[in-house]
């Protein structure tokens, strides 16, 4: 259990954040498929390390533990490993996370996938083969990682792939991130309306592509929360002004609702978070976070700490993450004195009361629960249970946090 004493933010400190987990994991799949990629600033997250290890496995059974991204990306990856049978499994929670929509899409492409325990859930038995079909339909409102999983293998297929997204697209920014990465590697693609087309890519092994991974905007979000509560300047490295990461929306959101201005230093790839001393907080935050649901927990805790009423929608994917994040938020925000009401898609504050005397935040084995609640130590002492869950995406979080806080 991590004890966080009531603290103050030390101004003008710089934090170096590891490479984006989202980008790193996409690059690892492409590196394994096409061989001519050299990756710099790879994420040091547990998820990325688990994926990297899995890609080097020679055994039939591959265990990715809690790494949801690895489960989804590897499902498609092993599907095109001709003549190879792979059993893809994970932790108890992973076996509760649905994968049917992705598996069904691959089955429609004539891949043999067998559910070894429960229908629609891991573990999977995948028999790899050559895909010759060119079209597949996928529900648009599912996790964008299902769609990305298919996109990452599409350039390797001899006829390319056309994905028809049925319904309203969720987390579009993550799909566009994937397509941007494919474009950088010369894999031609288009995304018009609800149709994504990826052309077959003939690999030129003679030329090495160097890719320096931008730091992780999801990890940066916690420092936006700290800045909003502590009202001191923070510097973060290494980030780009024109980012393809969906969670870069945090900059605009925190400027609008919490008065945190973001400035970029192009030569140092550094961003500066600076609170506006004359900012007037809004009467209410109403926001659709369909394109950036992973930073919803951070925003809710910030708003709760400042007692700003909020109504957040577009959160349908949060129920199938590491935990049911909407239920977890509803329970844990109450300890901060914030009563909420949740549906399958939304969370709304109902009232603000005094925080509990001895706050102990349960993480539900979810890294984002630990890190999103940590900034509340600027308001009141609290404890974070299972503090090691941060290793999933940001192993250095507690060390970095300690460098910018004083008791």
Cα 401 to Cα 406: distance, rounded to the nearest angstrom: 10
> Do residues 389 and 397 touch, judged by C-beta distance below 8 A?
no
Cα 341 to Cα 382: distance, rounded to the nearest angstrom: 23
Residues 6+ away with beta carbon under 8 Å from 405: 7, 8, 9, 10, 377, 378
Instruction: Give Cα separations from 69 to 28, 30, 172 (angstroms).
Output: 12, 14, 16
Active-site residue (options: 47, 294, 366, 400): 294
Cα 278 to Cα 77: distance, rounded to the nearest angstrom: 52
Q: Which residue has the tokens 């901060």?
A: 336
Cα 111 to Cα 127: distance, rounded to the nearest angstrom: 7
Decide if 400 is catalytic. Answer: no
| Burial class of residue 32, CB neighbours in 10 A (0-12, 13-18, 19+) | middle
| Residue 272 Cα to chain centre, angstroms | 22
Q: Which residue has the tokens 């931008």?
A: 214
Cα 257 to Cα 218: distance, rounded to the nearest angstrom: 18
**Planar angle of CA 327, 330, 335, nearest 5 degrees:** 135
The pair of structure tokens assigned to 227 is 């800045």
The pair of structure tokens assigned to 10 is 């030390």
DSSP one-letter code for 124:
E
Task: Tell me which residues are annotated as active site.
Answer: 294
């Amino acid at each position: 259990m991590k004890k966080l004493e009531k603290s103050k933010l030390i101004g003008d400190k710089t934090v170096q954040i590891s490479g984006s987990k989202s980008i790193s994991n996409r690059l690892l799949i492409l590196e394994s498929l096409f061989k001519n990629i050299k990756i710099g600033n790879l994420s040091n997250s547990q998820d990325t390390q688990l994926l990297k290890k899995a890609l080097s496995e020679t055994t039939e059974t591959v265990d990715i533990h809690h790494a949801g991204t690895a489960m989804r990306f590897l499902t498609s990856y092993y599907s095109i490993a001709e003549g190879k049978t792979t059993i893809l499994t994970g932790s108890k929670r992973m076996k509760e996370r649905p994968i049917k929509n992705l598996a069904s899409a691959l089955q429609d492409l004539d891949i043999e996938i067998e559910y070894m325990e429960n229908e629609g859930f891991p573990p999977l038995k995948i028999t790899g083969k050559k895909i010759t079909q060119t079209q597949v339909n996928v529900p648009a409102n599912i996790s964008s990682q299902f769609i990305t999983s298919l996109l990452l293998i599409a350039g390797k297929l001899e006829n390319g792939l056309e994905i028809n997204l049925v319904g309203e697209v969720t987390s579009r920014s993550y799909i566009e991130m994937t397509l941007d990465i494919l474009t950088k590697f010369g894999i031609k693609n288009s995304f018009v309306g609800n149709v994504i087309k990826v052309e077959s890519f003939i690999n030129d092994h003679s030329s090495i592509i160097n890719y320096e991974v931008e730091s992780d905007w999801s990890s940066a979000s916690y420092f936006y929360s700290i800045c909003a509560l502590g009202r001191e300047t923070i510097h973060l490295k290494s980030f780009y002004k024109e980012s393809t990461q969906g969670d870069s929306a945090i900059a605009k959101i925190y400027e609008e609702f919490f008065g945190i201005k973001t400035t970029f230093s192009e030569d140092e790839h550094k961003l500066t978070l600076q609170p506006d001393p004359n900012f007037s907080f809004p009467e209410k935050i109403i926001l659709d976070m369909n394109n950036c649901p992973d930073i919803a927990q951070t925003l809710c805790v910030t708003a709760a700490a400042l007692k700003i009423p909020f109504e957040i929608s577009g959160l349908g994917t949060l129920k199938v993450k590491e935990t049911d994040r909407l239920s977890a938020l509803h329970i844990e925000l109450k300890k901060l004195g914030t009563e909420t009401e949740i549906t399958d898609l939304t969370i709304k504050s109902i009232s603000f009361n005094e925080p509990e005397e001895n706050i102990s935040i349960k993480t539900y084995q979810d890294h984002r629960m630990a890190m999103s609640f940590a900034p509340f130590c600027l308001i009141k002492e609290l404890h974070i249970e299972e503090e090691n869950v941060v290793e999933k995406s940001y192993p250095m979080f507690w060390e970095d946090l300690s460098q910018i806080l004083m008791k």
